[in-house]
Amino acid sequence: MKYIVGNWKSNKSSKEVTFWFEEFAKCISSQKINLNNTTIVVCIPYVYLSLAQKLRDTLSLPLKIGAQDVSPFKNGAHTGEVSAGMVSEYAQYVIVGHSERRNECKEDDAILFEKAARAQEVKLTTIYCMQGENTKVPVGVPLVAYEPIWAIGTGQADTGDNAGKVITVIKRKWNVTNILYGGSVTAKNIKDFLSNESIGGVLVGGGSLDPHSFWEMILNASRI
């Protein structure tokens, strides 16, 4: 099973969310492809999770919905926080520890471990982001994404071969079985990553914003 995970980051209006799902539905119905070995996830800003879930269901799309963050706290007096329980009503996946949150929001390992624990308690599947073999990974996270900082949003992707080597080291060091690669993945280079045995899938930022480019990636992945 290979994962193709889109991360919209802090983008889109509700109108644009609707447009994305409707266009993606057109892409899917235009070509029959075998998605049996692929899990497709789109990680969406909190406020659109409910809308996205409704659109996914109405349009019968083979997509899983994910959030991009989660609170380290359970429900209670934590103003502004969105708990794992709340997220789990609308999503099956959650990204924890993206480098943008580590850098811009100063989230450290202690907070991120709490977030991963809260997600695990409600059976949200965590996609735990790390930047290299020295990033600490909580025990038992189901999915990890290796995202070298220099490759994020720069157009300078790693090669499948090199990412595969780093991922092999990370797997051994942190005892995780499924690791995705993220950083400037495009329709052009996706095959290079997905055809590498050590790489469990891709985490795609910019390339997931346009439904047609995201679909093109999925199409190319289906041709490996």
- Residues with a catalytic annotation lie at 98, 147
> CA–CA separation, 71 vs 191, rounded Å?
34
Stretch of 108-116, 134-142, 197-205, 210-218 contacting ligand PGA, by CB under 6 A? 197-205
Please, which residue, 16 or 89, has the CB nearer to ligand PGA? 16
Residue 43 CB, shortest distance to ligand PGA, in Å, is 9
Q: Interface with ligand PGA includes 185 (CB under 6 A)? A: yes
Six token digits for residue 81: 């926080």
Please, which residue, 72 or 182, has the CB nearer to ligand PGA? 182
Question: Tokens 């999915």 appear where?
Answer: 143
Please, which residue, 184 or 198, has the CB nearer to ligand PGA? 184
> CA–CA separation, 103 vs 97, rounded Å?
10
Closest CA to 101 of 10, 200, 207: 10
Residue 75 CB, shortest distance to ligand PGA, in Å, is 28
Q: Are 170 and 146 in contact (CB under 8 A)?
A: yes
Residue 80 CB, shortest distance to ligand PGA, in Å, is 23
Please return the burial class of 141, using the count of CB atoms within 10 Å of its CB with bins 0-12, 13-18 and 19+: buried
CA-based torsion, 6, 12, 14, 17: positive or negative = negative
DSSP 205: S
Q: Interface with ligand PGA includes 200 (CB under 6 A)? A: no
Task: Candidates 48, 205, 218, 221: give the one binding ligand PGA (CB under 6 A).
Answer: 205
Per-residue interface string for the shown chain with ligand PGA, residues 23-42, x marking contact by CB under 6 A: --------------------
Q: Interface with ligand PGA includes 199 (CB under 6 A)? A: no
The amino acid occupying position 199 is: I
> CA–CA separation, 14 vs 93, rounded Å?
20
Residue 169 CB, shortest distance to ligand PGA, in Å, is 20
Closest CA to 42 of 14, 26, 22, 20: 20
Residue 5 CB, shortest distance to ligand PGA, in Å, is 8
User: Restricting to residues 142-181, which ones interact with ligand PGA according to CB under 6 A?
Assistant: 147, 152-153
Closest CA to 4 of 63, 89, 87: 63
User: Restricting to residues 6-25, which ones interact with ligand PGA according to CB under 6 A?
Assistant: 7
Which residues contact ligand PGA (rule: CB under 6 A)?
7, 147, 152-153, 182-185, 203-207
